[in-house]
């Protein structure tokens, strides 16, 4: 166990890069940094579509540019915050002042909680806008045809399914001839 406030008893040591990279906190910060890059890069790279009938590109999230801007803003701020906190994590063992260490730890805790809430809000906003945009597209392209049995339009001359009744029935040639009322069709004799 560390005996100092916020690890202050270990302050002033030499910086060991390999032990710094192997810390779980550093690994999680690097993963968060990569995910923030993914969020803002995918929205800026593929989040805007250019419809053929409009001169300007619009956001793929239901055409709501605020949703794209919010996602990009959250991603960029998360990217910058991860860089700042990785630098603070690397510099943290060198800080001997307990008050500064306390401020860094408290700031990290508060920022992590607030930023988790922002990521959740960003997810909800983008998922809602995407759902609304997809339902608008879905209604235009996947409406079912009036006739489910054929891709051709129904006409009055040709029904969509056979309507003939028992008059179209033919007895197979290999069944016994036990009909009460023989039909005009006679099976061939072999």
Q: Is residue 151 part of a domain?
A: no
Q: Is residue 148 part of a domain?
A: no
What confidence tens digit (pLDDT) does each residue in 94-149 have? 888 889 989 999 999 999 999 999 999 999 998 998 888 776 555 455 555 554 55
Name the residue with tokens 């007895």. 171
| Higher pLDDT, residue 134 or 151 | 134
Q: Is residue 165 part of a domain?
A: no
Residue 59: strand pairing partners: 48
Number of domains in the chain: 1
At residue 105, the pLDDT reads 92
When pLDDT is averaged across residues 57-75 and rounded to a whole number, the result is 88
Q: Is residue 3 part of a domain?
A: no
Name the residue with tokens 């390999």. 18
Q: Residue 27's pLDDT band (boundaries 50, 70, 90)?
A: very high
Residues 187 and 171: their CA atoms lie apart, in Å, by 7
Residue 77 burial (CB count, 10 A): 14
Query: Do 187 and 173 meet the contact criterion of CB atoms below 8 Å apart?
Result: yes
Query: Do 96 and 133 meet the contact criterion of CB atoms below 8 Å apart?
Result: no
Q: Is residue 67 part of a domain?
A: yes
Q: Is residue 123 part of a domain?
A: yes
Q: Is residue 93 part of a domain?
A: yes
At residue 189, the pLDDT reads 78
Residues 101 and 174: their CA atoms lie apart, in Å, by 97
At residue 1, the pLDDT reads 47
Domain assignment of residue 69, given as a range: 17-140
Computed over every residue of the chain, the mean pLDDT equals 78
């Amino acid at each position: 166990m560390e005996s100092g406030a916020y690890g202050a008893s270990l302050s002033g040591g030499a910086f060991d890069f390999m032990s710094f990279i192997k810390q779980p906190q550093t690994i999680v910060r690097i993963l968060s940094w990569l995910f923030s890059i993914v969020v803002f890069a995918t929205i800026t790279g593929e989040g805007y579509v250019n419809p053929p009938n409009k001169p300007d590109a619009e956001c793929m999230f239901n055409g709501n540019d605020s949703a794209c801007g919010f996602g990009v803003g959250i991603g960029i701020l998360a990217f910058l915050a991860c860089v700042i906190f990785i630098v603070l994590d690397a510099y943290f063992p060198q800080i001997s002042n307990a008050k500064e260490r306390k401020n860094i730890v408290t700031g990290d805790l508060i920022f992590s909680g607030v930023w988790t809430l922002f990521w959740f809000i960003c997810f909800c906003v983008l998922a809602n806008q995407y759902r609304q945009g997809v339902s608008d597209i879905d209604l235009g392209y996947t409406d079912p045809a009036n006739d489910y049995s054929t891709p051709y339009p129904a006409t009055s001359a040709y029904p969509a399914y056979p309507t003939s009744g028992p008059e179209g029935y033919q007895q197979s040639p290999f069944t016994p001839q036990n009909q009460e009322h023989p039909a005009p069709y006679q099976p061939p004799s072999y």
